[in-house]
Structures are given as structure tokens and as C-alpha cells.
Amino acid sequence: MHPAFQLQNLRTLPAQLQTADLLLSTNLTRNFERLNEHWVIFKADPENIRCLLPVWYANLDPTTIPTVDAMNAAEAAGHRIDAVSGAADALRFLPFMGYSSEGFHPELWNRAWFWMEFLHTFQEHLLVLPPKAELYATFVSIFVHFLGCGCSAQLRSTPGVRIIMGAAWHCLLDNSDDKKLRQISRLINGDEDKRHPHWMQEYMEGIGGGLDHFASLLCRQVTRAVVNPTKPMSDTAVSLFNVAIGFMLRDRDSEKESYPLREALLPHGILRALTAAIFSLNLSATGPSKGLYLLTSAFNVVGSYIAAPPGLKWMSEALQSGFLHAIVLVVVTHPGHEYLEHELRAHLRTLFSAYLVYRSILVLMPNCLAEVAELVKSDVFISSTVYPEWQRFDALAQERLAFLQTFESTPSVVYKACDNMKATDLTSSAVKYASSQIFVAVPFVLTCIIARDNANWQIGRRSIELSAEKLQHSGHCLVRLAHWEARTMNDHLNHTEERQCTVQEKSFLRALLHRDYLALRAQIYTQQITLWAQTPNQVCYTVFDYTHGPVTVTVYPWGEGILDHPPSWMARCHNHILRVFKEPGLLEIHCMAIPNGLKTYRRLFSMRHADSQIFNALQEVSERMQEIPRTDPGFNSIIADGLTLDQSDSQLSTLQRTFCGLQSRSNPILGV
């Protein structure tokens, strides 16, 4: 026992307190009732409080903690337990003791902790305890007191201490004043590594549930911090936000390469809460370094959360919350901060530009761009390092919006590649007839010219009853219009990925891919010829990569590139792949790479040619190139010349004329 806890220290009290001293020394289990009467006198001189250390020591004796049977008996009789009453009062007055360097606090902490743990566990069965919020407010004050007395390491290493911290956090977040909330924030922020598995488990146990309950609490904390996005955060709000963002920044399971807290937070609307916090932080009168740290942290978290699959859903939510507006506003408000601008440039380049491939994102863009129309014209924004990236993003957005308008205002028919390789005549008259019959929510099945020789021309509801398999075996050529959701090529997608890609979304993706194919055929032909010149008769496919915003095309040999390790879903595309090998020149496979968070979401499209003229001409050019040494400058010039020279030039060879005219020779049919 430390000398400060010896009972004779009570004799050092001033003379006017000797009456209290006599009572305190004879009935320690009820002494705090008397202490209440004399508290004003004790508080007037902190030295008097120190003389009462034996009182705290005696009332926090862990050997007096009642058993379960004793509590049941007292609860049944409606009696209070004196030891519980004395300990509860001792804990209530303990934070007023004041700080001391005499070294007795570690011993006192051990006693206090046993009782705190007991009261937390059995609070619902003890009649003498104060209301729950008041009890946990006392616990928080005790934690703060011992941290200030040099017991930080001992307190934080005590098993179970974060259970009570978590319970107090959960209880007081919506039922406490600013001072107590700041104290809670100080306690939690003191943990250097909030990712420690054991510590996290204790926090979640104290909050009263698993990771989902913990995520809900963090969302409430951010919402509590942001009273109004148009007003700056108070110091208390900044403390609350700092706690929440700290857990989010440290969320990573390094062994599983996953982010479990992120997955739990997203369904609770954390993106909206964080975006509102960015607006409020942008106005807050915090110190420059702290304010920018929190802003940068918030942007980092939102960016990483948007990158979580299904990214399309989270990007839509972020845009509707004003995240694009927040980026521009912060650049204007805090000009010249290199690290912050670096992060914002990355968001525009890797997130926003990439997602402009989706129709559901493009329909949000007009409102998003209108919100920042005046800000992006300001001198501050134009002079920032973010502006060049903004120009690229804005140009791509305007170009895709123009195409979206054309797509939705002009009737168009996009086909599934014909399953009957003998069916080559898909006439425009049949297309026009089918197009004229389209109305909402009714898919149509169209049989091509070869099918008319074997069956009646069918179009309408009755033909829907014929499955694709029956049509194939009956010799029919099945062609589906764009309004029909076909899954043949993309059954490999998991449920989450497929669910986010609606019928409208897939129709737009098909149309965008087809447009870009027509615009980039010169590049595709060039790469195909180069590949075949090196590896004759190599079956290839084309990747249209939209993951960085503007599309890039690359022709790969089959089995290499993005499909270098074909996953199990490739088996579902087996029939289509066999057709490519069986009938080269009539069918091509295109792979559309689009963002799904930071991962790549792949859709395969088959493209049908009406004949093999293009393929034969490309093969002819590649054979000619095989005769030229690869080191010869003419190896590549023949392609470049064929693409750039006018067909009317009399100097062009027949081979070059053939190659030059490929782009206008055929309008291929793009599948789904």
C-alpha cells in the first residue's frame, strides 16, 4: 500500500473538518454521504482532497465487490448494497482529486478499474447507480484523469478497457455536451494503432455488436460533426471527425488484402456524410496544417471508397452528394497546396474520367458541371495544377454527353451476332421492318434471310417463345435487337457486377463500343496486319480499354493480354470462340475493359461481318509485309501510306487501294 492511502492521513484534515473526519473513519461505506455535505470546503483547497485518499482507497476495495447471489438477493428485496453505493460515489468524486506526482495513481487505478468493470457489466441490475449516460460520463472523466496522471501505458494495456470506452462512446455520442465529446475523442485518438485486432474487437464489443454496428457509429459520428455543410466545423466537431477518419484511414486487412470496415460503411451512406464534411471542413477555422490534413484525408477516403466494387454505385452516390463540386471548391479555397492538388488531379484522372463510359454517370454530369461552371472560370482555378486535368476531363465529358444525346434521340438497332454462320445476308429492309415495330418493353426476335427458306418470317410476341437453342437447331438465325437483354457472352460476370449493369447501361456500352470501333478501325487494322505479318493466321481479339477515360485499342493474340489467364467463365464463351476459329473473318471478339472500382470489369462482344472481304484484304497486306525484312523502314510505311494516301492517287498500288478502302467497305454488325 502506498503511504498516501494510510488511514491516519485523515487526521491531517483542517480542524473545521474533524467532524467529517470522525464519520469518515468510523463508517467508510457511507462516508461519501457526509463528503457531499462538506464538498464545497474540500474543493476550496486541493490539499484537503488529497487527505481523503484513504477514503477512495477503502471504498474501491475490490474484495468488497458483491457476488451474483448477493446482487440477486438485494435486487429481490429492493435493498441497495452499501459497497456498491460507496464505490459508485468514490468513482464519481475521483476525477476531482487533482493531479499528483507522488506515484500512488497506478495502485489506485487498479482498484478503480475492478469496480468500473463490475458496474459496466451489472449496471442494469444495480439499483443505486445513476442513469446510464451519467455513469459513462463519469467513466470518461476517470479515464482522462488517469491519463493526465501518467498512467497512460498502464491504462491502455488493461484488458477490456476499450470495451468501456466503446460503450461510453456509443452512449454519449448523442447524449452529451461538447466537453465530454472532446474527452472521448482524446481517449480514442490516443490509441496509436487502431487496427490492432484485439483492440478493435473490444471497441466493437463495447458498442454492442459487430462491424456493422461499428460502421453505423462512425457514420453517426461524421453526421454529428457536420451540423450544416454550409457552416464551418466547431472544435468539437473537428475532434469527432478526426476520430472517425482515423479509423477509416487505418482500415486494411493486410493478410486478406481487403478493407472490411469500408465494406461495412458504404451501405450506411458514408460517402454522403464525408462529402458534407469536406464542404464544412473547407470553411472551418482550424489551423492550416490540421485543416488541410483532414481535407486531404477525407478526399483519400472518399476516393478509396469509390474504388470499392461495385464502383458504379458508389461513384453515382458521390456525384449526387456533390463530390465533384467539392474538388473544385477546395482547389479555389486552398490554392497552391501541392499535395492536395496532386490528390485531386489523381481523382479526376483515375476515377471521374474512367467512369464517363457509363450512361448512369453521364446523365448526372450536366447538373454536376453546372454546379462548378463559375468556379472553373476563376483565375485561381485556371492557374492551379488541377486545371489541365480538368480540361481533359471536361472535354471527354462533353464528347460523351454529345454521344449520349445522339444515342437517346436517334433510333438505332444493335444486333447480337448471328449464330448461324451460313446466314450472311442481313438485309436493310428486314432491319427497317423490325425497327418500325419496336415499342416499349417488348423484345423482338428477327430471323434472317436464310431462315425464310425454312420457316415463316416471324416477328412479335409469339417468336419470343422460341428459345435461342431451338432456333439454332432448327436452322434459324437468331438476331436480337438492342432492347433485348442478352447474357450469352457475359454470364461470367458475378451477381454484383451484372446487377449494376442495367439493360440501358448495356445498350449504351454496346453503342459506344460500336462507335469507337468504326472510328478506330485504322488503328485496329494496322495492329492486326502487324500481328499477322509476324505470326501468320494467328487468331486475335481486340481490347477496347476505357479504364483511363479516352478509349485505347490493342489487338492481342488469343490467350494473351487481358485474357492471358482465361478464368473459368471463358468456358461459357466456348461456342463463340470456336466459331472465331472455325470461320475466321466472319466473326471477331471484342473485349470492353471498363472500371469497376480500381479493378477492371470485362465484357465480351462478338462482332459479325457480312462477308470476309476485310479479313482477306488484311491477310493479303500482311503476306506482302512478310516479304519485307522487319528492319526495313518500309515494314511499317506500307500501313501508314495505305491509311493516309487518297484513293484517287494514281501512284497507289492495287494492294494499297484495297487496304485504303477497307474502312468504307463494310458496316459490321456488333453483337452483345
Residues 475 and 335 grouped into a single domain: no
CA distances to 33, 94, 145, 513, 605 from 59, rounded to whole Å, are 12, 11, 18, 78, 78
Higher pLDDT, 239 or 668: 239
Rounded to an integer, the average pLDDT of 447-452 is 40
Residue 422 pLDDT > 90: no
Summary mean pLDDT of the chain: 75
Residue 513 pLDDT > 90: yes
Q: Which of 111, 119, 155 is CA-nearest to residue 135?
A: 119
The pLDDT assigned to 669 comes to 52
Tell me: the pLDDT tens digits for 344-375?
Answer: 898 998 889 999 999 999 999 999 999 999 99
Choose from 132-141, 149-158, 425-434 the range with maximum mean pLDDT.
132-141
The pLDDT assigned to 482 comes to 28
Higher pLDDT, 613 or 577: 613
Tell me: the pLDDT tens digits for 431-440?
Answer: 333 333 332 2
DSSP bridge partners of 446: 479
Half-sphere exposure in the Cβ direction for 36 (13 Å, CA): 8
Lowest mean pLDDT among 202-206, 251-255, 578-582, 646-650: 646-650
> Which of 257, 286, 308 is where one domain is finished?
308
Q: How far apart are CA 595 and CA 583, in angstroms?
A: 32
Half-sphere exposure in the Cβ direction for 459 (13 Å, CA): 19
The pLDDT assigned to 18 comes to 59
The pLDDT assigned to 517 comes to 92
Question: What pLDDT band is residue 427 in, cutting at 50, 70 and 90?
Answer: very low
CA distances to 544, 549, 567, 594 from 602, rounded to whole Å, are 10, 15, 12, 6
Residues 259 and 315 grouped into a single domain: no
Show the CA angle centred on residue 594, arms to residues 590 and 597, nearest 5°: 155
Tell me: the pLDDT tens digits for 381-400?
Answer: 999 999 999 999 999 999 99
φ and ψ at 391, to 5 degrees? -60, -45
Q: How far apart are CA 461 and CA 456, in angstroms?
A: 15
Q: How far apart are CA 293 and CA 287, in angstroms?
A: 10
CB atoms within 10 A of CB 288: 9
φ and ψ at 434, to 5 degrees? -65, -45
Residues 61 and 184 grouped into a single domain: no
Residues 522 and 654 grouped into a single domain: yes
Residue 620 pLDDT > 50: yes
In a domain, 449, yes or no: yes
In a domain, 538, yes or no: yes
The pLDDT assigned to 588 comes to 84
Residue 118 pLDDT > 60: yes
pTM for the full model?
A: 0.77
Residues 664 and 551 grouped into a single domain: yes
In a domain, 421, yes or no: no
Residue 282 pLDDT > 70: yes
Residues 475 and 510 grouped into a single domain: no
CB atoms within 10 A of CB 49: 19
Rounded to an integer, the average pLDDT of 223-234 is 87
Decide if 581 contacts 626 (C-beta within 8 A).
Answer: no
Output the 3-class SS for 563-616.
HCCCCHHHHHHHHHHHHHHHCCCCEEEEEEEEEECCEEEEEEEEEECCCCHHHH
Residues 174 and 51 grouped into a single domain: no
Residue 549 pLDDT > 80: yes
Percent of the chain topping pLDDT 90: 27
In a domain, 487, yes or no: no
> Which of 242, 276, 308 is where one domain is finished?
308
In a domain, 417, yes or no: no
Percent of the chain topping pLDDT 70: 67
Query: What domain count does the chain have?
Result: 6
Q: Which three cell numbers stand for residue 142?
A: 476517470
Tell me: the pLDDT tens digits for 38-73?
Answer: 555 566 566 667 777 887 888 888 988 888 888 888
Lowest mean pLDDT among 4-8, 131-135, 343-347, 662-666: 662-666
CA distances to 22, 405, 499, 509 from 591, rounded to whole Å, are 90, 25, 19, 12
Residues 14 and 119 grouped into a single domain: yes
> Which of 76, 96, 129 is where one domain is finished?
129
Rounded to an integer, the average pLDDT of 77-105 is 78
Please return the burial class of 200, using the count of CB atoms within 10 Å of its CB with bins 0-12, 13-18 and 19+. Answer: buried
| Domain around 330 | 309-410
Question: What pLDDT band is residue 326 in, cutting at 50, 70 and 90?
Answer: very high
Q: How far apart are CA 91 and CA 130, in angstroms?
A: 12
Question: What pLDDT band is residue 208 in, cutting at 50, 70 and 90?
Answer: confident
Question: What pLDDT band is residue 177 in, cutting at 50, 70 and 90?
Answer: confident
Q: How far apart are CA 625 and CA 634, in angstroms?
A: 9
Residues 39 and 102 grouped into a single domain: yes
Residue 608 pLDDT > 80: no
Question: What pLDDT band is residue 421 in, cutting at 50, 70 and 90?
Answer: very low
554: enclosing H helix or E strand: strand 552-557
Residues 558 and 455 grouped into a single domain: no
The pLDDT assigned to 429 comes to 41
Residues 588 and 537 grouped into a single domain: yes
Decide if 587 contacts 579 (C-beta within 8 A).
Answer: yes
In a domain, 485, yes or no: no
Residue 446 pLDDT > 60: no
CA distances to 129, 536, 628, 629, 637 from 632, rounded to whole Å, are 93, 19, 7, 5, 9
Rounded to an integer, the average pLDDT of 131-154 is 90
The pLDDT assigned to 325 comes to 94
In a domain, 348, yes or no: yes
In a domain, 418, yes or no: no
Residues 323 and 300 grouped into a single domain: no
Question: What pLDDT band is residue 249 in, cutting at 50, 70 and 90?
Answer: confident
